[in-house]
Structure 1
Amino acid sequence: MKNKVKICFVATADVAITSFLANHLRQLAKLYDLTIITNTNNPDFLSQIGIEANIVQIKFSRKIDFFADFYCLIRLVKIFMRTRFASIHSITPKAGLLAIMAARICFIPSRVHTFTGQVWASEIGLKRSFLKFIDRLIGKLTTHNIVDSPSQCNFLVQQKVLTEQKSIVFGSGSVSGVDLKRFMPNEHMRFKIRLELAIPKGAFVFIYLGRLNQDKGILDLARAFTKIQNNKVFLLIVGPDEGGFVDKIKIINIHKSSYVKFVDFTNKPEDYLAASDVLCLPSYREGFGNVIIEAAAMGIPAIASNIYGISDAIINEQTGLLHAPGNIKSIFDAIEHLSTKPKLVKKYGDAAMKRVKAQFDANKISKYWCDFYLQVIGQK
Structure 2
Amino acid sequence: MEGLEGKHICFVTAIPMTVEVFLLDVIKDLLGRNDVTVITGTDDPSFLKRYGLDVRVLPVKIERKIAPIKDITTLWQLFRYFRSLPFDLVHSLTPKAGLLSMMAAMCARIPIRIHTFTGQVWATKNGAKRYLLKSMDRLIVSCATHILADSPSQAAFLVSEGVVKGESILVLGNGSISGVDTERFSMDLKARYDIRERLGINEEDTVFLFLGRLNHEKGLIDLANAFVRLTERYKEIHLIVAGPDEEDMGKRMSSICKERLHIIGATYEPERFMSASDVFVLPSYREGFGLSIIEAASVGIPAIGSRIYGITDAIVDGETGLLFEPGNVSDLASQMELMINRPDLREKMGLAAKERVKREFSRKMMIDAYMTFYMDIFRQSNLHA
* TM-score normalized by the length of structure 1: 0.96
* Contact persistence 1:225–1:332 (CA under 8 A): yes
The reply on whether 1:136 has 2:172 as its aligned counterpart is no
* CA separation of 1:253 and 1:59: change in aligned 2, threshold 3 A: closer
Match of 2:74 among 55, 72, 76: 72
Q: Which residue of 2 aligns with 1:202?
A: 204
Q: Which residue of 1 aligns with 2:149?
A: 147
Q: Which residue of 2 aligns with 1:290?
A: 291
Instruction: Structure 1: state its 5+ residue gaps.
Output: none
Match of 2:193 among 186, 191, 194: 191
The reply on whether 1:239 has 2:243 as its aligned counterpart is yes
Instruction: Structure 2: state its 5+ residue gaps.
Output: none
* Contact persistence 1:302–1:319 (CA under 8 A): yes
The reply on whether 1:120 has 2:88 as its aligned counterpart is no
The Cα shift of 1:134 comes to 0.5
* Contact persistence 1:26–1:50 (CA under 8 A): no
The Cα shift of 1:248 comes to 2.4
The reply on whether 1:172 has 2:174 as its aligned counterpart is yes
Q: SS in structure 2 opposite 1:377?
A: helix
* Contact persistence 1:117–1:286 (CA under 8 A): yes
The reply on whether 1:226 has 2:228 as its aligned counterpart is yes
Root mean square deviation of aligned Cα: 1.3
C-alpha separation between the residues in 1 aligned to 2:239 and 2:41? 35
C-alpha separation between the residues in 2 aligned to 1:15 and 1:90? 14
* TM-score normalized by the length of structure 2: 0.94
Q: SS in structure 1 opposite 2:353?
A: helix
Look up the equivalent residue of 2:255 and give its one-letter code: I
Look up the equivalent residue of 2:212 and give its one-letter code: G
1:316-331, aligned counterparts within 5 Å? 316-331=317-332
The Cα shift of 1:47 comes to 2.7
Moved more, 27-36 or 359-368: 27-36
Q: Which residue of 2 aligns with 1:89?
A: 91
Give per-residue Cα distances to partners, 1:237-262, cap 9 Å, x unaligned: 112222232232223223xx1x2222
* Contact persistence 1:147–1:168 (CA under 8 A): yes
The Cα shift of 1:21 comes to 0.8
C-alpha separation between the residues in 2 aligned to 1:239 and 1:47? 23
The Cα shift of 1:267 comes to 1.0
The Cα shift of 1:328 comes to 1.0
Give per-residue Cα distances to partners, 1:272-313, cap 9 Å, x unaligned: 111100001111000001000000000000011010000000
Q: Which residue of 2 aligns with 1:277?
A: 278
Aligned residues: 375
Moved more, 198-207 or 69-78: 69-78
Look up the equivalent residue of 2:365 and give its one-letter code: K
1:13-24, aligned counterparts within 5 Å? 13-24=15-26
Look up the equivalent residue of 2:206 and give its one-letter code: F
C-alpha separation between the residues in 2 aligned to 1:51 and 1:364? 21
Moved more, 12-21 or 58-67: 58-67
Q: SS in structure 1 opposite 2:14?
A: strand
C-alpha separation between the residues in 1 aligned to 2:356 and 2:252? 36
The Cα shift of 1:64 comes to 2.0
The Cα shift of 1:45 comes to 1.6
C-alpha separation between the residues in 1 aligned to 2:144 and 2:76? 19
C-alpha separation between the residues in 1 aligned to 2:122 and 2:208? 29
C-alpha separation between the residues in 2 aligned to 1:356 and 1:89? 26
Q: State the percentage of identical aligned residues.
A: 42
* Contact persistence 1:23–1:363 (CA under 8 A): no
Q: Which residue of 1 aligns with 2:100?
A: 98
C-alpha separation between the residues in 1 aligned to 2:254 and 2:68? 39
The Cα shift of 1:158 comes to 0.5
* Contact persistence 1:221–1:282 (CA under 8 A): yes
* CA separation of 1:81 and 1:251: change in aligned 2, threshold 3 A: closer
